[in-house]
Amino acid sequence: MNTAYISLGSNMGDRAGYLEKAINILSSHGKIEVTKRSSLYETDPVGFTEQDQFLNMVIEIRTSLSPETLLHQCLQVEIDLGREREFKWGPRIIDLDILLFNHETIEAENLLIPHPRMQERAFVLIPLLEVAPSIEHPSFNAPLAEFLDEIPDKEGVR
Contacts with ligand GSY by CB under 6 A lie at 9, 43-48, 54, 56, 89, 95, 123
- Assess whether 97 carries a catalytic annotation: yes
Output 42 or 64, the one with its CB closest to ligand GSY. 42
- Containing 138, the helix (H) or strand (E) segment is none
Q: Residue number with the shortest CB distance to ligand GSY? A: 9
62 is an active site residue: no
Residue 25 or 118 having the CB closest to ligand GSY: 118
For residue 81, what are the CA distances in angstroms to 13, 29, 75? 12, 15, 10
**Closer of 85 and 134 to ligand GSY (Cβ):** 85
Maximum Cα–Cα distance across the chain: 41
Length of the chain: 158
CB of 124 to ligand GSY, least distance (A): 8
Active site (annotated) includes residue 149:
no
Helix runs in 2-120, H state only? 15-27, 67-80
**C-alpha separations of 59 from 32, 37, 97 in Å:** 12, 4, 11
Instruction: Name the residue type at position 78.
Output: E
| Catalytic, out of 15, 37, 83, 121 | 83
Least gap, CB of 30 to ligand GSY (angstroms): 28
Q: Which is nearer to ligand GSY, 89 or 140 (CB)?
A: 89
Point out the residues that are catalytic.
83, 92, 95, 97
